């Protein structure tokens, strides 16, 4: 039940985060989020369109952690013959443990022609996106839930029960965005819709969810507050959460750990709140004493966070995210597996994002450059000194997932008014 609440809450929050986003952006984020929450390696999201000849599904976005796929470019008729067509036609959710072994009793079959090159689909969760009047407006098809040994495992049937109410809310939002794209709805209408959405939400949340929401909100605000004096870091903290969650999941960490790091990673630099402001804001080189004060953001962060039972992981991350694998980091000079795995994960996330980010004194690196530095180092960073080798290996396999998180959550250009 808890899981269901959190999931619904999370989806609602993220759908509402950017009410002005385009349909394309929203669908890509819905797909991304659905994959993160269910552990699916790949997926496609479809929207129903109507032509003279009848309804069809237009694939609007496709994603795959393992291979490069085109954003999406094909159509499927709404009919019982294909899996997604069946889901669109009936509004039912379909879970398959082997798409190539569908029983003879089913009207649909898997069409290998739609399979990406050099990729094999095994398990599938396919669910409809419905609007508030219960009409199917799209379909999400998730492929290959990845298990701890990196092989596809079946989607859990209770995931289907969880996505149903969530898909409703997301579907309504997609419909809203689609309308905006198509007929340029005025702001007023949008605000009305948002109010309705908020009201709807008010009906379905209970006190416990509100408490959970308030907790997550406070944690997010704390992280934001801490970076207020930092150089323009924008969405850095949000992205750090996502990369860390992505790594933890692919590492096969327990679900509770993954959920916790998902909101804890953003607090890694929270101790900067306590650093002497003169040091924090100083533009030039820091002398030894100033450097030592700056480095204490790790222990300060731990002090701020360690009292809360739900922030133990965050406290651990804050304390140890500047330790290095070789034992040459601070504050405690821990090395290897003495450094908590949470901190080792956040370190990779933090550094990838720092490399990509533009700062007053440097342009941002491309994904290729950042990947090259993390894998092979440069004059400032030696990956063998810094990182857990297991995580470098994982990064080498899954670096495209990092690029996608960056692309989806990157900061708007500095010139844009906000």
The binding site for Fe ion (CB under 5 A) comprises 269, 350
**Min CB(350)–Fe ion separation in Å:** 4
Name the residue nearer to Fe ion (CB basis): 255 or 291: 291
To Fe ion, the closest distance from the beta carbon of 87 in angstroms equals: 41
Provide the token pair at 42: 């790949």
Question: Rounded to an integer, what distance in angstroms lies between the CA atom of residue 140 and that of residue 49?
Answer: 15
Do the beta carbons of residue 322 and residue 331 sit within 8 Å?
A: yes
Considering the complex, state which of residue 65 and residue 269 has its C-beta at the smaller distance from Fe ion: 269
CB of 233 to Fe ion, least distance (A): 7
CB of 197 to Fe ion, least distance (A): 33
Nearer to Fe ion, 166 or 237 (CB): 237
Task: Report in angstroms how near the CB of residue 263 gets to Fe ion at its nearest.
Answer: 15
Query: Which residue lies nearer to Fe ion by CB, 24 or 235?
Result: 235
**Residue 275, burial from CB neighbour count under 10 angstroms (0-12, 13-18, 19+):** buried
Least separation in angstroms between CB 408 and Fe ion: 18
CB of 362 to Fe ion, least distance (A): 15
Pick the closer one to Fe ion by CB: 70 or 328: 328
Q: How far is CA 285 from CA 282, 288, 289, 358, 362, in A?
A: 8, 10, 11, 19, 16
Q: Which is nearer to Fe ion, 178 or 269 (CB)?
A: 269
Query: CB 25 → Fe ion: shortest distance, Å?
Result: 25
Which residues lie below 8 Å from residue 134, measured CB to CB, with a gap of 6+?
91
Q: Are 269 and 227 in contact (CB under 8 A)?
A: yes
Alpha carbon distance 308, 314 (integer Å): 10
Shortest distance in whole angstroms from residue 349 CB to Fe ion? 8
Q: CA–CA separation, 332 vs 320, rounded Å?
A: 8
- Closest to Fe ion by CB, 76 vs 339, is 339
Structure tokens at 134: 């219960």
Residue 322 corresponds to which tokens in the numbers above?
């500047």
Of 269 and 323, CB closest to Fe ion: 269
**Of 260 and 269, which has the nearer Cβ to Fe ion?**
269
């Amino acid at each position: 039940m808890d899981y269901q609440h959190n999931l619904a809450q999370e989806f609602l929050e993220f759908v509402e985060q950017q009410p002005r986003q385009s349909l394309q952006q929203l669908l890509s984020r819905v797909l991304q989020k659905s994959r993160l929450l269910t552990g699916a390696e790949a997926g496609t999201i479809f929207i129903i369109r109507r032509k003279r000849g009848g309804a069809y599904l237009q694939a609007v976005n496709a994603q795959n952690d393992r291979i490069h796929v085109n954003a999406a470019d094909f159509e499927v008729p709404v009919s019982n013959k294909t899996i997604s067509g069946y889901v669109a036609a009936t509004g039912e959710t379909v879970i398959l443990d082997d798409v190539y072994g569908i029983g003879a009793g089913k009207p649909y079959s898997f069409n290998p022609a739609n399979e990406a090159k050099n990729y094999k689909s095994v398990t599938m969760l396919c669910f409809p996106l419905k609007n508030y009047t219960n009409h199917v407006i799209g379909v999400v098809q998730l492929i290959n839930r990845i298990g701890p040994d990196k092989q596809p495992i079946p989607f859990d049937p209770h995931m289907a029960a969880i996505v149903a109410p969530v898909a409703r809310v997301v579907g309504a939002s997609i419909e809203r965005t689609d309308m905006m794209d198509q007929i340029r709805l005025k702001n007023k209408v949008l605000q009305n819709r948002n109010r309705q959405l908020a009201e709807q939400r008010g009906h379905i949340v209970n006190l416990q969810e509100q408490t959970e929401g308030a907790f997550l909100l406070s944690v997010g605000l704390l992280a934001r507050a801490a970076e207020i004096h930092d150089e323009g870091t924008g969405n850095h903290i949000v992205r750090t959460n996502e990369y860390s969650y992505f790594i933890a999941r692919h590492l096969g960490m327990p679900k509770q750990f993954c959920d916790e790091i998902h909101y804890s990673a953003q607090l890694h630099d929270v101790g900067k709140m306590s650093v002497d402001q003169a040091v924090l804001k100083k533009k030039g080189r820091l002398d030894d004493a100033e450097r030592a004060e700056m480095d204490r953001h790790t222990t300060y962060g731990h002090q701020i966070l360690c009292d809360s039972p739900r922030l133990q992981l965050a406290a651990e991350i804050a304390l140890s995210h500047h330790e290095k694998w070789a034992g040459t980091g601070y504050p405690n000079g821990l090395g290897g597996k003495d450094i908590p795995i949470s901190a080792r994960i956040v370190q990779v996330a933090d550094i990838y994002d720092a490399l990509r980010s533009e700062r007053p004194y440097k342009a941002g690196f491309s994904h290729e450059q950042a990947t090259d530095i993390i894998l092979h180092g440069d004059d400032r960073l030696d990956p063998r000194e810094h990182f857990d080798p297991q995580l470098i290996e994982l990064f080498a396999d899954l670096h495209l997932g990092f690029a996608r998180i960056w692309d989806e959550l990157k900061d708007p250009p500095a010139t844009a008014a906000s």
